[in-house]
Structure 1
Amino acid sequence: MTKTHFIIDVPLMALTLLQGISEIVLLVGSNDSTYIGIGGYEWKYIHEIIGIPIMILFTLHFIEYCKWFINETKDVFRIGLFDSV
């Protein structure tokens, strides 16, 4: 899981941090109709753009974790099955 950690977890943490910052800016610097704009981009859209890669990375991480869990536990289930027979 070490390689997976650096490929998926580190970018996931960075994107989560960026999304958190954008949420704070949305909460502090906006009301229902206005958003703080930086470089021509509104924070609302930055927040949505950042959220998409987070969901993709989270899905990839979940798939990798499921593969790891199956590989780690298949021997346990196999041993238990043969013991019961």
Structure 2
Amino acid sequence: MSRTKINYVVDLALLAQFVLVGYSGLLLLIDGHGTSHFWKLIHEKIGILMLVFFIVHFVLHWGWLVLNTKKCFSRKETKADEIIEAKYTSVD
């Protein structure tokens, strides 16, 4: 399986997990202690699984993260031969 397909599957799984954790979290927030044991279990177990998939996602994008962090925080230094000087002459 290509890296692109793996990334797609991981991202799709993360989306499904996000929806399940969000939905179960809303149920727990609204209903509180009256929520069934099933939704509490879903919320906890899918949340842990989501953390695992996040780590895989992070590893898959490590090169991109390093490259763009370097671009963001690097200083662009001008070399002496890159400086363009303009000379002005007066027109009578």
Measured against the shorter chain, the TM-score band is 0.5 to 0.7
- Distance in structure 1 (CA, Å) of the matches to 2:28 and 2:16: 18
Higher strand fraction: Structure 1 or Structure 2? 1
Structure 1 unaligned spans of 5+: 74-83
Q: Which has the larger radius of gyration?
A: 2
TM-score by length of 1: 0.65
CA contact (8 A) 1:35 1:43 kept: no
CA RMSD of aligned residues (A): 2.4
TM-score by length of 2: 0.60
Aligned residues: 68
User: Among 39, 42, 50, which residue is 2:46 paired with?
Assistant: 50
- Residue in structure 1 matched with residue 25 of structure 2 by the alignment: 23
Higher helix fraction: Structure 1 or Structure 2? 1
Structure 2 unaligned spans of 5+: 69-78, 80-92
